[in-house]
Amino acid sequence: MKLKDLLKVASKASLRERQLLLAHLLKVKPSDIYFIEDREVSKDIEEEYLKSLKLLEEGYPLQYILGEWDFYGRTFKVKEGVLIPRPETELLCEKVLELIPANGEYVGFEIGIGTGCISITLLLERKNLIMYADDVQDIALELAKENAKLHKVEQRLILRKGDIFKPVEGMVFDFVVSNPPYIPQREWENLPKGVRLEGWISLIGGEKGYEFYERFAKEVRRFIKDGGFFALEIGHDQGSILRKLFAEKGFRVDIFKDYAGQDRVLIGWKR
């Protein structure tokens, strides 16, 4: 069967998803698909494509089928059970980079590293940066290590297993960054099947959704240097309550909106 005929196979998957899937199987760039649409596709590729197409239609994430996804212009390995990198999280990286000039030397800490896309992006953009990071899941730590090696920053990324600040007790950092779970547990059943595959630990922030931030606000002060800061991704409806929470703990806070106009990144400093 020709590639163009495979693309015409009836499916609930979008044309873009089908193009990305075929490009992955054929090991070509998605933009090259149009130039090779008359190519004959092997039976093995055809069968793998149709099998993957069925998974897509059943709600399985394209990112997990591909085993990789792009973030900040770079490709990262992804695995089921670990949060998939999302475009809005790029804003978190942008805001951190604005606060750490390229000519400086810094030591940062990420809570809940997941795929590693945040820490690794920061390391690639700032050559004099060293990052510590933790996670409670072995699968995430293994994946982050794999991605660090892929992008050749493994010598500047120190990974530790544990919850929030426990693995770095007694240390202080120039900044702390995190994209924590912030969805209220009542919303779990309403999440699409594919999103739930990213895992309860990766997504659910507790009964209210912002329990992580409550604990973080109590502990972060002793882990950041004077003049240091913290940067957090937040839920679109959590800006007001988190501004109040951190202000009550004595922090100065700025909140930034994502490209959809939703509250998305909170930056805090010691007063």
Q: What is the pLDDT along the chain (271 residues), one digit of tens a residue?
A: 788 888 888 788 888 898 899 899 988 888 888 888 888 888 898 899 899 999 998 999 999 999 999 999 999 999 999 999 999 999 999 999 999 999 999 999 999 999 999 999 999 999 999 999 999 999 999 999 999 999 999 999 999 999 999 999 999 999 999 999 999 999 999 999 899 999 999 999 999 999 999 999 999 999 999 999 999 999 999 999 999 999 999 999 999 999 899 999 999 998 7
- Strands 157-161 and 74-77, by their bridges, are unpaired
The values of phi and psi at residue 153, to 5°, are: -125, 15
What's residue 37's pLDDT? 81
Domains and CATH numbers, the chain: 3-58 (no CATH), 73-270 (3.40.50.150)
Q: What is the pLDDT of residue 83?
A: 95
Q: Give the model's pLDDT for residue 36.
A: 86
pTM, to two decimals:
0.93
**Side-chain half-sphere CA neighbours of 263 within 13 A:** 17
pLDDT of the residue at 5 = 83
